[in-house]
């Protein structure tokens, strides 16, 4: 699967950085070099905490060798496969940093057709330099995966003081947000004018470990505000995240049944979510 990989980690970071991508940083609120005891345990930590909800795991750990290895106190991995391009590292200090290219870039022609569908009255050509349309569901799912992984990492390392989660959509100027779903039609695409969309949250351990979806919901609303998408109701965002967890695939569904995403609508009523 990693046969189309990058020449080096530095090359991966450079290439991804030039395009629209998610920059993800997760770390404990206080620093300690040995949160994860020994670099040899880093790969096992990733295997135990990675999120596998829609057919592609996050973070994806490439096969050990040219595309994944331990350097000093950090495990790094890089992958380029179909629309996927990503590079990340996890250190024994439990700090995680990574860059993940927007998948819609590999489907630019589909993005243009999507834009023209919502703006049918306007003259349109596939040769035009139209905004890159980011799929609403896809971006919210990305955000949910980042916070879910942070929650699992906090539990695995027993980070009682909490975590800082900082995610940024970089090179996002002239991107639009839209949805192909008729049920979630949000009108003409909103075009973002900010080159970087930042979401930064300091989360208590009990907050991120028991109900990480609340943090993901708040982050998703902050993200959509940059696209002037105030007409997207909170219940729609909740439903999108809930749908993601209905797609649980493989062993991950049983391994992490303690994360109550399937009962996400219970949050509104104040009742405790079921497992």
SS (H, E, C) 69-112: EEECCEEEEEEEECCEEEEEEEECCCCEEEEEECHHHHHHHHHH
Name the pLDDT band for 193 (thresholds 50, 70, 90). Answer: low
How many of the other CB atoms lie within 10 Å of CB of 73?
A: 17
Kindly state the average pLDDT of the residues 223-233: 70
Looking at the chain, the whole-number percentage of residues with pLDDT higher than 70 is 70
pLDDT for 108 beyond 60: no
pLDDT for 39 beyond 60: yes
pLDDT for 274 beyond 50: no
**Going by C-beta distance under 8 Å and a sequence separation of 6 or more, which residues neighbour residue 120?**
none
The per-residue pLDDT for range 196-212, each reduced to its tens digit, is: 889 999 988 887 777 77
How many of the other CB atoms lie within 10 Å of CB of 132?
A: 23
The per-residue pLDDT for range 242-272, each reduced to its tens digit, is: 777 665 544 444 444 444 333 333 333 333 2
Q: Which residues of 136-165 are buried (b: 16+ CB within 10 A; e: fewer)?
A: bbebbbbbbbbbbbbbbbbbbbebeebbbb
The per-residue pLDDT for range 140-189, each reduced to its tens digit, is: 889 989 999 999 999 999 998 899 999 999 998 878 777 765 444 444 45
- The pTM (predicted TM-score) of the whole model is 0.80
**Going by C-beta distance under 8 Å and a sequence separation of 6 or more, which residues neighbour residue 30?**
161
Higher-confidence residue: 21 or 225? 21
Element (H, E) at 205: helix 205-210
């Amino acid at each position: 699967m990693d046969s189309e990989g990058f020449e080096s980690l530095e090359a991966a970071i450079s290439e991804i950085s030039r395009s629209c991508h998610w920059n993800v940083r997760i770390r404990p609120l206080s620093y300690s070099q040995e949160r994860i005891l020994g670099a040899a345990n880093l790969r096992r930590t990733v295997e135990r905490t990675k999120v596998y909800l829609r057919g592609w795991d996050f973070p994806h750990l490439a096969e050990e060798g040219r595309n994944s290895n331990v350097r000093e106190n950090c495990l790094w991995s890089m992958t380029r496969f179909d629309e996927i391009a990503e590079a990340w590292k996890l250190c024994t200090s439990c700090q995680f940093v990574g860059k993940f290219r927007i998948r819609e870039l590999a489907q630019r022609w589909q993005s243009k057709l999507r834009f023209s569908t919502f703006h049918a009255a306007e003259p349109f050509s596939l040769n035009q330099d139209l905004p890159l349309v980011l799929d609403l569901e896809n971006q919210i799912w990305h955000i949910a995966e980042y916070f879910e992984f942070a929650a699992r990492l906090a539990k695995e390392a027993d980070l009682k003081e909490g975590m800082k989660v900082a995610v940024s959509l970089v090179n996002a100027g002239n991107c639009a947000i839209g949805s192909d779903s008729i049920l979630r039609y949000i009108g003409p695409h909103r075009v973002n004018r900010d080159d970087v969309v930042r979401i930064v949250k300091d989360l208590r351990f009990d907050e991120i470990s028991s109900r990480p979806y609340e943090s993901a919901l708040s982050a998703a609303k902050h993200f959509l505000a940059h696209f002037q998408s105030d007409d997207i109701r909170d219940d729609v965002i909740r439903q999108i995240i809930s749908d993601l967890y209905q797609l649980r695939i493989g062993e991950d569904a049983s391994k992490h049944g303690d994360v109550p995403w399937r009962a996400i609508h219970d949050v509104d009523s104040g009742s405790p979510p079921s497992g």
